[in-house]
Amino acid sequence: MRFTVESSLSITKLFFILLIAVLITVKLTGCGDHGYMVFLNLEPEEAGEVSGSGTYEQGEEITVSVDTGESWEFIGWFEDGEKVSKEQEYTFSVTESRNLVAEMKPGEGEVIQGYIEDLLEIGPRPPGSEAEKEAALFLKDVYRDLGYDEEGYELELQEFKLSEQTGFEDLKGPENMKLADISVMDGEEHFGNVSAELADQSWTYEKYHDTVWQAMTSPHGETASVEGEMYYSGTGMEEGDFPEEVDGNIALIKVDDTEVEWEFNEDLNLRTFEISEQQIENAKEAGAEAVIFTFLDDEHHQGNTEAQTMVPLIQDKEGKEKEVNIPILGASSIHGQWLQEMEKEHANPPELEISSYKNIDLKSYNVVATKKSDKEDAPIITVTAHLDSVPGSPGASDNASGTTTLLKLAESLKNKDLDAELRFANLGAEEVGLFGAYHYVEQLSEEELENHYNINPDMIGTSYPKNDELFITSLDQSENEVTNSLLEGQEILDYDVATFDAQVNINSDHVAFDDKGIPAVCLVWMGERGLEPVYHTPLDTVEDNISAKRLNLAYDIIKEGIIQLDERIQD
């Protein structure tokens, strides 16, 4: 046995010695009549594709190339640890066998996507919620890590009560907000097994969609916790809609979108829809302990309409608001469809735990990181992005994409020689009336208002294929110093994705700046149909709705646009 092991080791050593000798011979002399070998590798492997490897004759001129993957940056071609070319297409004459490595690094879009993933760990960030506050503190910590609390910089957390703040079109902020968490107790069993339709596309329930969902609840329903099985109960108006098993459990009721339309309720600052007292009475008579209303038909469903979670308002026969003593929820369309499919496709109905609650005395937050100017009376460039999301949506594209892009811009421009004062303002409570933006501009002095410019990226990360243009929009539908600087930045970068469109009008935080006479623009990826269909829904996730490449493109254009704007406004 001992002799066998030693012999095996000797044979192994001999094999490697011969192999090394062969490789040295190949490198020095080639492969005889077959020429020299050129080996290509990519580091890391997932960063793209290399082409040009093969066997070549001595003296033959060849070109090897690398195609970078989405949002990866090429560093250079390396051989034996030394950089031999910085060009993606490397041309050389073959004089020996070569082993080349194309080294890559994550692009800025990948870095921004990483920030988005961190932010989404918090969950949906409704205005005035603890989650929104947690997001603000997360952003403040990142700015602190970047050095924005050092001399020459400033870091501020602005706090404001929503009920005391005036927003878009003189809206008053809400005092409270009722929400509910829907825990799908056996949700893990359904990962990858149930699908639903939204905006002509099928969406499968996956692990990253989580087993705890957020929904709006009716201000007329009870705030309580309920556990039970869920049973589909039709429209709740027809005989036989409620199965016997719903007694002591939870009813899922379909909202007929041919008869019911959503509307924005200015008292609640939220999207609402009306349900009838009769539906609730029927559910209670059947013994339901809680009712989930949802728009199940997918024909018209997309973000910002019936697809998102909304507030059910209960009205009696005279059209007056009616109080009831069970929780009444308004779930998103995709959650309602998944629940219905879980009941259809499995022997046992889904078990849910509903916990409704009321957030009161709502407060929101702005995070402002400032790079000060050495120049007296310097102009101000404020880059803004809202940090909140609508209830029930992770808000990856809307607007974690914009708010985390500010972090990367703050890092890359921190030591850039600029004449203007540069501010990065992550603003709260945009989704209920642009309250953070209005609070921010109200803090500005007359001097600060005079020479001020605003760039507002909102929804700049969608992967929706049809949204392939980066729209630059202004409220007065005319070009200004900001639009021109961004377009000039694109020209310098030799990109062809951004366009100024006077016909597009987006309601976002730049509105508050425009109201104060500040030149302001919004950037957003759009297409012929407008915004991506999954925005404001639970499908606004990194996996479903984020493109690192588009994040990279938008980031580059904004960064170069800021540099060009700084030059323009000094003239």
Q: Contact 124/91 with Cβ under 8 angstroms?
A: no
> Is the pLDDT at 1 greater than 50, yes or no?
no
Instruction: Give the confidence band of 15 by pLDDT, cuts at 50, 70, 90.
Output: low
Model-wide pTM > 0.95? no
Per-residue confidence (pLDDT) for residue 7, from 0 to 100:
40
- Give me the mean pLDDT over the 341-362 stretch: 94
The two structure tokens encoding residue 36: 């020299």
* Tokens coding 213: 């969902």
Higher pLDDT, 256 or 360: 360
Q: Give me the phi and psi of 449, to 5 degrees please.
A: -70, -30
- In tens, the pLDDT along 324-337 reads 999 999 999 999 99
**Phi, then psi, of 493 in degrees rounded to 5:** -75, -10
Q: Which two tokens stand for residue 208?
A: 């990253």
* Average pLDDT over the chain, rounded to an integer: 91
Residue 214 pLDDT exceeds 70: yes
Distance CA 389, CA 407 (A): 18
Euclidean distance between the first and the last CA atom of the chain, given in angstroms as a whole number: 87
Q: Reading across the β-sheet that carries 520-526, which strands appear in turn? A: 153-161, 363-371, 421-427, 380-386, 452-457, 520-526, 469-473, 498-500
Q: What is the DSSP string of 236-289?
A: S-STT-S-GGGTTSEEEEE--TTT---EEETTTTEEEEEEEHHHHHHHHHTT-S
Closest CA to 391 of 330, 450, 479, 444: 330
Distance (Å, whole) CA 47 – CA 104: 7
Whether residue 164 is predicted with pLDDT greater than 70 in this model: the reply is yes
Q: How confident is the model at residue 46 (pLDDT cuts 50, 70, 90)?
A: confident
* The pLDDT of residue 191 is above 50: yes
CB-hemisphere CA count at 13 Å for 99? 7
Angle between helices 401-413 and 108-120 (to 10 degrees): 130
The whole-number average pLDDT for the span 353-379 is 97
| pLDDT over 60 at 499, yes or no | yes
Per-residue model confidence (pLDDT) at position 2: 34
What does CATH list as the number for 32-106? 3.10.20
Give the single-character DSSP code of 485. H
**Neighbouring residues of 321: CB distance < 8 A, sequence distance ≥ 6:** 220, 313, 314, 315
Q: What is the structure's pLDDT at 477?
A: 82
| Average pLDDT of span 498-520 | 91
Q: Quick one: which of 448, 455, 439 has its CA closest to 421?
A: 448
Tens digits of per-residue pLDDT, 100-112? 999 998 889 999 9
Reply yes or no on whether the pLDDT at 354 is more than 90: yes
Angle at 181 between CA 545 and CA 294, to 5 degrees: 70
Stretch 88-105: mean pLDDT? 95
Structure-model confidence comparison of residues 21 and 90, the more confident one: 90
Q: How far apart are CA 319 and CA 549, in angstroms?
A: 50
> Looking at per-residue confidence, does 1 or 65 come out higher?
65
pLDDT (tens digit per residue) in 126-156: 999 999 999 999 999 999 999 999 999 999 9
Query: Quick one: pLDDT at residue 8?
Result: 41
| pLDDT of residue 527 exceeding 90 | no
Instruction: Kindly state the percentage of the chain with pLDDT values over 70.
Output: 92
Residue 403 has pLDDT above 90, yes or no: yes
For 382, the enclosing helix (H) or strand (E) is: strand 380-386
Q: How far apart are CA 282 and CA 565, in angstroms?
A: 62
Statement: residue 414 has pLDDT above 60: yes
* CATH level 3 topology of 127-168+362-569: Aminopeptidase (3.40.630)
Residue 117 backbone phi and psi in degrees, to 5: -60, -40
> Which CATH number applies to 176-360: 1.20.120.420, 1.10.10.10, 3.40.1390.10, 3.50.30.30?
3.50.30.30
Is the pLDDT at 93 greater than 90, yes or no? yes
**pLDDT(502) > 80:** no
Tell me what pLDDT residue 19 has: 47
Question: What percentage of the chain exceeds 90 in pLDDT?
Answer: 79
- How many other C-beta atoms lie within 10 A of the C-beta of residue 45? 11
pLDDT (average), residues 443-452: 96
Instruction: Tell me whether strands 153-161 and 176-184 are parallel, antiparallel or unpaired.
Output: unpaired
Q: Domain spans of the chain?
A: 32-106, 127-168+362-569, 176-360
